[in-house]
Amino acid sequence: MSAIGVTTRTRAELQVLVSLLRRLNSPEGQAAPYGILAELREMGDVVRAPWKGYFVTGFDACSQVLRGRDWLRPTSPGRSARGTPRGGTRSPPGR
């Protein structure tokens, strides 16, 4: 996501984001999400989430993320970018 800027959010902006997400998750938001999604897009193409994630709302930014692999990175030592232990694959439970 290097070509697309991610801005650090103030506490007030994070509160607005959380409010938007709660509204989006409500029955009213599920029935008519477009206005809420428009408000989310107004916050930027890439919006930092309060839980160390990102919302990618702009078309060009989404295209860059979905087509590129540079956004994948290990989340912890000994784990691959996709979450499987390095050097192996996940086994089904009980095996």
The pLDDT, as a whole number, for residue 68 is 84
- What's the token pair of residue 25? 């998750």
Residue pair 68/4 in contact by the 8 Å Cβ criterion: no
Q: Name the residue with tokens 């912890």.
A: 76
Domain assignment present for residue 36? The answer is yes
Q: Is residue 59 part of a domain?
A: yes
The CA distance from 45 to 23, in Å, is 20
In a domain, 1, yes or no: no
- How many Å from the N-terminal Cα to the C-terminal Cα in the chain? 38
Domain that holds residue 24: 11-67
Tally the domains of the chain.
1
The pLDDT value recorded for residue 4 is 54
* pLDDT tens-place values along the chain, 95 residues long: 444 556 556 888 888 999 999 999 999 999 999 999 999 999 888 888 888 788 888 889 889 888 887 766 655 665 555 555 445 445 455 55
- Inside any domain, residue 58: yes
Is 94 inside any structural domain? no
**Looking at the domain assignment, is residue 73 inside a domain?**
no
Domain membership flag for residue 44: yes
pLDDT value of residue 7: 59
Q: Which residues contact 3 (CB under 8 A, 6 or more apart)?
A: 64
Q: Give the predicted TM-score (pTM) of the model.
A: 0.60
On whether residue 91 sits in a domain, the answer given is: no
Match 């506490």 to its residue by tokens.
11
CB 9 within 8 A of CB 48: yes
